[in-house]
Amino acid sequence: MFKESPIIRRQSTKIMVGNVAVGGDAPITVQSMTNTLTTDVAATVAQIKALEAVGADLVRVSVPTMDAAEAFKQIKQQVNVPLITDIHFDYRIALKVAEYGADCLRINPGNIGREDRVRAVVECARDHNIPIRIGVNGGSLEKDIQERYTEPCPEALLESAMRHVDILDRLNFDQFKVSVKASDVFLAVGAYRLLAKQINNPLHLGITEAGGMRAGSVKSAIGLGMLLAEGIGDTLRVSLAADPIEEIKVGFDILKSLKLRSRGINLIACPSCSRQEFDVISTVNELEQRLEDLLTPMDVSIIGCIVNGPGEAMVSDLGLTGSSKKSGYYLDGVRQKERFDNTNLVDELEQRIRAKAQLIAEQQKQVIDVKAV
């Protein structure tokens, strides 16, 4: 088994979104977007903090009006995670949120209007050391591009993206990232592949409007997985018609499956069959809920029988192999004399997993301390 990802990432430039690096050799970041009314400061702050608690590296907030910009000022003062402001058309909102501490402006230069307005936003971003995200969407391409291509295609998304990139290049501004999202997996993947060959700026990945929790997660995993496996992508959002917290969880699961980033418990579990000696499904579901707060990366295998159990357990930090009445317990690939009663597995496993996670965290801290010296 691969302990590290065999994927070679595309070489991109690095930008800073607040204190979080995006691109270059930085870890691929996971982000989401608030769905509360931005003018409801308390609700928006609460959602941002909830997203941060489950690991969001960045959070995007829509700022459609000046009232929302004033609310953003209050929101920014109450949270720690870097905030990206989503702005369309009105350049004055971009100037205002930059003044109020936005960490990134999501705004398409070509949609702002006159050249002087575009220049004002870019100079403001430069003065405040704020990057810009160009966000192209297959559902909102410029009218002339729609007419020329008749329907969205990878080449159309690329042309739209490069139109905005050219504006920033002309203004000598290189602190930006780009996305070319579409709800169709192949359309989005094709556009990102073309764009990755054209520029070396960081790329923000997403399958936009992917759908509900199940279908959207599948579409995102396929689309983003195809790109990430090719080394394309520096930050991502899983766009779901669901609680934004689920977007963060699915995003990390995608990166975890490709070994591009580790965060929290990686549960390796069998789908269960008539050979199982305990209720695998309920055990795994309850463990997932109980262990959501653990951030330490570790592999835990929960297998219901002795057919595949020992093999998985021997390459896991902690493993359980189902057996009659009492199941086998492995630690760091070594079978332990101790066995667990099948009627009390969840409590026993949670206790051992937390103890092992604490030990791993302490070991990691020691390594960091030694390097610091």
145 and 276 inside one domain: no
Residue 316: domain span: 265-372
357 and 295 inside one domain: yes
Q: To which H or E segment does residue 237 belong?
A: strand 235-237
Domains identified in the chain, total number: 2
Positive or negative CA dihedral for 250, 252, 258, 264?
A: negative
168 and 136 inside one domain: yes
From 257, 284, 306, the end of a domain falls on 257
Q: What does the alpha-carbon distance between residue 144 and residue 5 come to, in Å, rounded to a whole number? A: 42
Q: How far apart are the first and last CA of the chain?
A: 33
329 and 204 inside one domain: no
Q: What percent of the chain is helix, strand and coil (3-state, nearest 5)? A: 45, 20, 35
The tens-digit pLDDT sequence of the chain (373 residues) is 556 789 999 999 999 999 999 999 999 999 999 999 999 999 999 999 999 999 999 999 999 999 999 999 999 999 999 999 999 889 999 999 999 999 999 988 777 878 889 899 999 999 999 999 999 988 888 889 889 998 889 999 999 999 999 999 999 999 999 999 999 999 999 999 999 999 999 999 999 987 899 999 999 999 999 999 999 999 999 999 999 999 999 999 999 999 999 888 889 998 888 889 899 999 999 999 999 888 888 899 999 988 888 999 999 999 999 988 899 999 999 999 989 998 889 999 999 999 999 998 888 777 666 666 5
Cβ–Cβ < 8 Å for 299, 2: no
271 and 306 inside one domain: yes
pLDDT tens digit sequence for 154-180 = 999 999 999 999 999 999 999 999 999
Q: What does the alpha-carbon distance between residue 117 and residue 137 come to, in Å, rounded to a whole number? A: 22
pTM > 0.95: yes or no = no
253 and 278 inside one domain: no
Q: Can you give the CATH number for the domain in which 312 is found? A: 3.30.413.10
217 and 298 inside one domain: no
